[in-house]
């Protein structure tokens, strides 16, 4: 099946190594990133568009139209009232570039690494909801849909509750197919639960292995992990036929999920032991038989090549 038929685009985070390499062709210019993805045969891109002038935005829109590709934006929520202007301008740019959806997150890090106690997490939760409330009028005025990612911050019931409270049809979910594994959730159930309010996705495959304090978690090229990707696509498109599948193939060392340590549980109140038991049971059932991918010890050139190869392998899998 051609990639355009599948609708597989590429998230800018798939090129985190390239973007941070001195002297390498960076993708901070969204049009440069777009052109690279076009050459790969991707159906579209999801990237930070910033606040472009009218001419630059029209150039992006025209390029996407000519290539029959889509564009989605990435924005950060306004930190305070003074930041609403910046947020509004980025929504305007996204709309001018032809984006119908922009993705955002509430926490840039990981819940179990960021917060040492429940009080600090509750403060974050209140402030995050306030930021979303601050963003709501600008989203409604723009007509661009805002998709909040499950970013190793909220468990699914918490994220869906936030959406119910914000009560805005233009605010939904960017479903990451792998992130919630780190919060001990069953990934296929996460996709099923989020599908009715999913506006876009970060589409990835995952591999796991056990270690002393819990389990290791890695993105791997599509088809090389334990996720039932076909089931996930069917679940999403049954509820959202037009949803975009955006490849997020992050090349890095395995993430440590220390779910057997006391600190990990500091922000989780009332989760039953069965949640931990289920996560460890899944880890053992799907444990990778080969070492998880890593970049430690590779040269800069090797890291760049490894990253590009991983993306290309994922695109080839999707095409097949």
Nearest-angstrom CA–CA distance, 93 and 209: 42
What's the pLDDT tens digit per position in 87-121?
999 999 999 999 999 999 999 999 999 999 999 99
Nearest-angstrom CA–CA distance, 139 and 91: 7
What's the pLDDT tens digit per position in 274-308?
999 999 999 999 999 999 999 999 999 999 999 99
CA dihedral 8, 9, 13, 17 (to 10 degrees): 90
> Distance from CA of residue 99 to its chain's centroid?
17
> Is 307 within 8 Å of 18 (Cβ atoms)?
yes
Of the candidates 284, 287, 288, 276, the one whose C-alpha atom is nearest the C-alpha of residue 185 is 276
What's the pLDDT tens digit per position in 163-216?
999 999 999 999 999 999 999 999 999 999 999 999 999 999 999 999 999 999
What's this model's pTM, rounded to 2 decimal places? 0.95
Q: How many CA atoms lie within 13 A of 252 on its CB side?
A: 17
Q: What are the strands of the beta sheet with 205-211, ordered from one edge?
A: 205-211, 214-220, 255-257
Contact residues for 287 (Cβ-Cβ < 8 A; gap 6+): 208, 209, 210
Residue 25 binned pLDDT confidence (cut-offs 50, 70, 90):
low
Burial label, 260 (beta-carbon count in 10 A; 0-12, 13-18, 19+): middle
Nearest-angstrom CA–CA distance, 123 and 132: 14
Q: Mind listing the domains of the chain with CATH numbers?
A: 3-319 (3.20.20.150)
Of the candidates 132, 29, 149, 138, the one whose C-alpha atom is nearest the C-alpha of residue 89 is 138
Q: Which residue has the higher pLDDT, 26 or 306?
A: 306
Of the candidates 306, 310, 253, the one whose C-alpha atom is nearest the C-alpha of residue 21 is 306
């Amino acid at each position: 099946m051609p990639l355009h038929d599948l609708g597989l685009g590429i998230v800018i985070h798939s090129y985190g190594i390239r973007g941070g390499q001195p002297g390498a062709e960076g993708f901070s210019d969204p049009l440069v990133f777009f052109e690279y993805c076009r050459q790969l045969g991707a159906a579209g891109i999801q990237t930070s568009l910033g606040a472009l002038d009218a001419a630059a935005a029209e150039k992006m829109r025209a390029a996407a139209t000519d290539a029959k590709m889509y564009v989605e934006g990435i924005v950060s929520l306004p930190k305070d009232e003074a930041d609403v202007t910046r947020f509004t301008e980025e929504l305007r740019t996204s709309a001018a570039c032809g984006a119908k959806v922009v993705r955002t997150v509430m926490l840039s890090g990981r819940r179990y690494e960021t917060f040492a106690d429940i009080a600090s997490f509750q403060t974050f939760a209140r402030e995050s909801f306030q930021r979303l409330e601050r963003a709501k009028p600008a989203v409604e005025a723009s007509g661009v849909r805002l998709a909040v990612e499950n970013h190793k911050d909220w468990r699914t019931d918490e994220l869906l509750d936030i959406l119910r409270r914000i009560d805005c049809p233009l605010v939904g979910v960017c479903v990451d197919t792998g992130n919630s594994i780190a919060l001990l959730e069953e990934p296929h159930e996460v996709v099923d639960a989020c599908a009715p309010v999913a506006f876009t996705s970060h589409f990835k495959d995952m591999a796991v292995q056990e270690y002393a304090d819990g389990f290791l978690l890695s993105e791997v090229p599509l088809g090389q992990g334990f996720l039932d990707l076909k089931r996930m696509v069917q679940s999403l498109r049954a509820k959202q036929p037009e949803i975009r599948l955006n490849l997020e193939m992050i090349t890095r060392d395995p993430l440590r999920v220390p779910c057997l340590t006391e600190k990990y549980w500091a922000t989780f109140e009332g989760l039953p032991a069965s949640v931990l038991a289920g996560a460890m049971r899944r880890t053992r059932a799907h444990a990778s038989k080969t070492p998880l991918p890593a970049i430690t010890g590779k040269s800069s050139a090797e890291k760049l090549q490894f990253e590009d190869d991983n993306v290309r392998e994922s695109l080839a899998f999707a095409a097949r």
